[in-house]
Amino acid sequence: MTVHLVNPSHLSFGVGVITPRWLYVLAAATPASAGAPRIVDETLEPFDTDDVRPGDVVGIGIHTGNALRGYEIGTVARARGATVVFGGIHASLYPAEALSLGGAHAVVRGDGDVIWPIVLDHARQGALQQIYDAGRVDADRFVAARWDLLPPDRYMWGSVQTVRGCPKHCSFCSVWRTDGQAPRQRGVGQVVAEIVELRQRGFRFVALADDNFYPVTLNDLAMAERQHNQARLAQLQALRAERFELMARLAELPSDMVFFTQITMEAAEDDAFLDAMRRANIKGALVGIEAVTPEGLKDVYKSFNDVGEALVRRLRRFRERGIHVLGSFIFGLPSDRPSTFEATVEVAERSELTFAQFVMLTPYPGTVDFEAWEKRVAADVAHVGGIPVTRHWLIPQERRPKVYMPHPVMTADEIRARTQAVWDRFYSLRRIWVRSRCVSTLRARLAFVLISKLYRQMYANTGIATDSARVNRASQWARLIARPCRRLFVARPLAMPASSLRTGVTSTPQAQ
């Protein structure tokens, strides 16, 4: 029996940007008795279902965007005699769908770390349940990934999770509902050990695959103090202290390491935190800016963000402390008007963002937005090929509509065209070249241009364009530049035992 773990994707680029962490975590949770699992990431190459034999187990992890491709694979694998198990955020929200459309014998809802060996055991005994409610695993039971199974020379960034859950409650995001609002922080030692292993394997760039790296704000602490809530205060302080401990340990790693994380902009008010991040080589962060107007922020329940000059100042603060920002904006909010697009890209430029992404408001299942939208359109829902748009992920990729939320004053096509124009402006060669001043050498500036173009091709065109000629052109481009880009990220593998970490690492000769 072989255990296959498959990350579905309808597009393959040969090279991947970030290691899909769940594959390597579930591989680690696979008991030795089941043999080494076969890992297939379809963002690299399509899964060859001919490799599936009767009696194999095929584990498929899906988010909403790749659910349909996952169902295709599951259906074929089942027909070939395999036992099919689904997991991941989308399967957790719609287990019945994976059972009826994806050929699933079983679906795991929630974290797979602890339940996976049990599921495999049940599969071996022929005693599978249809649904496993695995829930939220405590941080001390998170499984460390098996990086020894990584294919060589394929990914630009490793990925290590340091915390799960987010205390906020943004309307477009499912994280706080699925992963919970209580931060589950992994032990510092475990996190550092994984990073050391990745560095030993030549990864200099590591994404901290966290929901929110800054789960305790100065405001939270002040509020607990004002309320004289000593228990809460102590709990928050302990979480904060653990963050600083982690960052202090990361600071001991070779200084050529580059970490990237996701964080709320409240961190800009916390100089001590930003300085610790910089010392820890957390050189970049995705910041959810979402909207540049107060109405827009109200639309998404994100009033802890700023607008106007205060917003620009906050974002610049990251750069002043040496942290590059990838600003994330949403278009298509009910309060957006044609003028919002121009205003947004101006803020993006004035705030000295290093990168930016402009996504269109998509009602993702599990979110407050999705529920409101589903209710609103229920009586008169549009269909594409017989599928209601409230199940848009089931519509074949080439016909799948990209904007689903009805907007009070703009059509979907107008929002799409304006969003595309914003990407085009922000990533024009001239503007990228100006932004590339953030690095010092000519070689680094050229690398910056290449990476900016790759980012734009991978995430903008393929995500926004609906005409297949443009999508094909974009993915061919991405395929072409992905390989030379990957070379910019690798380092010479470091040959050093993890035990030498505290004393030996900083004196190790640096790669590149």
**Applying CB under 6 A, which part among 78-86, 106-114, 141-149, 170-178 lies near ligand SF4?**
170-178
Q: Does residue 171 belong to the site contacting ligand SF4 (CB under 6 A)?
A: no
> Residues 60-99: x/- map of binding to ligand B12 (CB under 6 A)?
xx-xxx-------------------xxxxxx---------
Does 183 sit near ligand B12 (CB under 6 A)?
A: no
170 interacts with, out of ligand SF4, ligand B12, none, CB within 5 to 8 A per kind: ligand SF4
Taking CB under 6 A as the rule, does residue 176 contact ligand SF4? yes
Say what the alpha-carbon torsion angle 95, 96, 100, 101 is, to the nearest 10 degrees.
-50
Identify the three-state secondary structure at position 447: helix
Backbone angles phi, psi at 267, to 5 degrees: -60, -25
Q: Residue 236 binds which one of ligand B12, ligand SF4, none, with CB within 5 to 8 A depending on kind?
A: none
57 binds ligand B12 (CB under 6 A): no
Helical (H) or strand (E) element with 205: strand 205-208
Contact 261, 282 (CB under 8 A): yes
Q: Which of residues 2-21 bind ligand SF4 (CB under 6 A)?
A: none
Quote the radius of gyration of the chain (alpha carbons, Å).
23
Which residues on neighbouring strands pair with residue 282, listed in sequence order?
259
Say which residues have a Cβ less than 8 Å from residue 266's Cβ, sequence separation at least 6.
214, 217, 218, 219, 304
The residue with tokens 């004035």 is 350
Left, alpha or beta for 187 (phi > 0: left; psi -120 to 50: alpha)?
Answer: beta
CA distance 385 to 200: 50
For tokens 């799409």, name the residue. 416
Minimum distance from residue 476 beta carbon to ligand SF4 (Å): 32
Q: Which does 64 bind (CB under 5 to 8 A by kind): ligand SF4, ligand B12, none?
A: ligand B12
Q: Per this entry, what is the length of the chain?
A: 512
Among 42, 56, 97, 113, binds ligand B12 (CB under 6 A): 113
Q: Is 482 in the site for ligand B12 (CB under 6 A)?
A: no
Closer CB to ligand SF4, residue 212 or residue 461?
212
CA 267-162-36 angle, 5° bins: 155
Which partner from the list ligand SF4, ligand B12, none does 168 bind, CB cut-off 5 to 8 Å by kind? ligand SF4
Residue 180 CB, shortest distance to ligand SF4, in Å, is 11
Q: Which of 13, 71, 94, 116 binds ligand B12 (CB under 6 A)?
A: 116
The residue from 109, 122, 168, 324 that contacts ligand SF4 (CB under 6 A) is 168
The number of residues that bind ligand SF4 (CB under 6 A) is 11
Q: Pick what 176 binds: ligand SF4, ligand B12, none; C-beta below 5 to 8 Å, kind-dependent.
A: ligand SF4
Structure tokens at 210: 């966290």
Q: What is the C-alpha separation between 197 and 201, in angstroms, rounded? A: 6
Backbone angles phi, psi at 323, to 5 degrees: -115, 120
Strand ranges across the sheet with 282-290: 16-18, 155-160, 205-208, 258-263, 282-290, 324-331, 355-360
427: Cα within 13 Å, side-chain hemisphere: 25
Q: Give min distance, CB of 115 to ligand SF4, in A.
A: 24
Q: Is 364 in the site for ligand B12 (CB under 6 A)?
A: yes
> CA geometry: angle at 139 spanning 134 and 140, to 5°?
105
* Piece of 171-179, 268-276, 333-341, 411-419 that binds ligand B12 (CB under 6 A): 171-179
> Could you tell me the CA-to-CA distances from 395 to 68, 204, 253 in Å, in that order?
8, 39, 46
Question: What is the nearest approach in angstroms of ligand SF4 to the Cβ of residue 459?
Answer: 17
Window contacting ligand SF4 (CB under 6 A); options: 93-101, 171-179, 387-395, 499-507: 171-179
Choices 163-171, 199-207, 448-456, 498-506; region in contact with ligand SF4 by CB under 6 A: 163-171
State the nearest-atom distance from the C-beta of 114 to ligand B12, in Å.
8
Q: Among ligand B12, ligand SF4, none, what does residue 85 contact (CB within 5–8 Å per kind)? A: ligand B12
Site for ligand SF4 (CB under 6 A): which residue of 288, 296, 327, 365?
288
DSSP classification of residue 510: P
Among 3, 13, 15, 25, binds ligand B12 (CB under 6 A): 25
3-state secondary structure 259-313: EEEEECHHHHHCHHHHHHHHHCCEEEEEEEEECCCHHHHHHCCCCCCCCHHHHHH
Of 6, 25, 57, 170, the one binding ligand SF4 (CB under 6 A) is: 170
What mask of x and - would describe binding to ligand SF4 in positions 78 to 117, judged by CB under 6 A?
Answer: ----------------------------------------
Q: Give ∠ CA 289-290-296 in degrees, rounded to 5.
A: 120
Residue 4, H or E segment: strand 3-7
Nearest Cα to 301, choosing from 310, 311, 319, 288? Answer: 288
Of 162, 212, 293, 462, which lies in the binding site for ligand SF4, with binding defined by CB under 6 A?
212
- Structure token digits, residue 413: 């096509």
Partner whose footprint covers residue 209, from ligand SF4, ligand B12, none (CB < 5 to 8 Å by kind): ligand B12
Instruction: Give the interface with ligand SF4 as residue ranges (CB under 6 A).
Output: 166, 168-170, 173, 175-176, 211-212, 264, 288
Instruction: Give the interface with ligand B12 as residue ranges (CB under 6 A).
Output: 18, 20-22, 25-26, 59-61, 63-65, 85-90, 108, 111-113, 116, 159, 161, 173-175, 179, 209, 211, 359, 364-366, 459
